[in-house]
Amino acid sequence: MQNDRGSNPRPGEISLAHCGVLFLDEIAEFPRGVLDVLREPLESGVVNISRASRNAEYPARFQLVAAMNPCPCGHLGDPVKTCRCTAEQVARYQSRISGPLLDRIDLQVQVPAQAARILVSGPDKEPASARVRQQVVAAHELQLQRQGCNNAHLQNNALERHCKLDQASRALLMQAMDKLGLSARAYHRILRVARTIADLQQQSDIQLEHVTEAIGYRRMDTARQAS
């Protein structure tokens, strides 16, 4: 991910994606050691490279977007094509994404295969992406007005202050933590996601439905627990 060969390290893909998006297609095909390099910059927003002659630090605050097949053959859950993989092969394939890295991925969404008629149909009069953009812009402005930063950057006391939960929501989150074996990092990330869902709906308080949806996005955590 970083061009760190030799005595003169240079910025790699992680730093080149600073303040933007780093998209990794077929992420499960990357070597696990390479993927685990992402863990530090996803937390700190910087990449540190140490050499005998010098140390270098590069900015690396980016949004990670990744895609992978559900199994080696790519047809697990497909209503048309039959998956040929064994349960062991599926588990081994999905485990290529380490737990600590998966812990840092807030939204884990399964995208079903699209019918041909949907793929070839023309765009709507009002594209869904335009409506979503309006919601995102409004939510972003709301966050800046409320706390001066994006929800993703909320830390410590500010996180607890702006992501308060009622008794029912907190009980649900605690139950999910115990059942799924989630980490403290996952707990804080679920809070931020729930706060963002509420902001997208222009809700001042986080509701039970927002926490439920945020927990639901930990899909691969749930799948691994079930297996």
- Single out the residue in 104, 119, 150 at which a domain terminates: 104
169 domain-assigned:
yes
Report whether 47 contacts 60 (CB < 8 A): yes
In sequence order, what DSSP letters do the residues of 65-79 get, joined into one string? Answer: EE---SSSSS-TT-S
Which pLDDT score is estimated for 133? 92
Q: Of the ranges 8-12, 24-28, 65-69, 112-116, which one carries the lowest mean pLDDT score?
A: 112-116
Same domain for 99 and 162? no
pLDDT tens-digit map of 149-188: 999 999 999 999 999 999 999 999 999 999 988 999 999 9
Same domain for 133 and 57? no
**Of the candidates 114, 113, 136, 146, which has an alpha carbon nearest to the alpha carbon of residue 63?**
136
Q: What is the CATH number of the domain that holds 63?
A: 3.40.50.300
Which pLDDT score is estimated for 112? 80
Q: Name the helix (H) or strand (E) containing 57.
A: strand 55-59
Same domain for 74 and 160? no
1 domain-assigned:
no
54 domain-assigned:
yes
β-strands 46-50, 55-59 pairing: antiparallel
110 domain-assigned:
no
Domain count along the chain: 2
Same domain for 140 and 86? no
Range of the domain at 203: 128-226
Same domain for 146 and 188? yes
Which pLDDT score is estimated for 219? 75
Higher pLDDT, 220 or 112: 112
pLDDT tens-digit map of 107-126: 999 888 777 776 676 555 55
Same domain for 81 and 40? yes
Which pLDDT score is estimated for 78? 86
221 domain-assigned:
yes
Same domain for 88 and 159? no
Same domain for 73 and 148? no
Which pLDDT score is estimated for 149? 94
pTM: 0.83
- Single out the residue in 62, 89, 104 at which a domain terminates: 104
Q: Name the helix (H) or strand (E) containing 47.
A: strand 46-50
Same domain for 95 and 144? no
Local confidence band at 128 (pLDDT 50, 70, 90 cut-offs): confident
145 domain-assigned:
yes
Same domain for 39 and 85? yes
Same domain for 72 and 134? no
Local confidence band at 223 (pLDDT 50, 70, 90 cut-offs): low
The overall average pLDDT reported for the chain is: 88
CA dihedral for 124, 129, 132, 133, sign (positive or negative): negative
Report whether 14 contacts 47 (CB < 8 A): yes
In sequence order, what DSSP letters do the residues of 87-141 get, joined into one string? Answer: HHHHHHHHTTS-HHHHTT---B---PPPPHHHHHSPPPSS-HHHHHHHHHHHHHH
pLDDT tens-digit map of 58-81: 999 999 999 999 999 999 988 888
114 domain-assigned:
no
pLDDT of 227 > 70? The answer is no
112 domain-assigned:
no
The amino acid present at 168, given as its one-letter code, is A
The amino acid present at 9, given as its one-letter code, is P
Which pLDDT score is estimated for 89? 96
Same domain for 100 and 157? no
Q: What is the mean pLDDT of residues 11-18?
A: 91
pLDDT of 106 > 90? The answer is yes
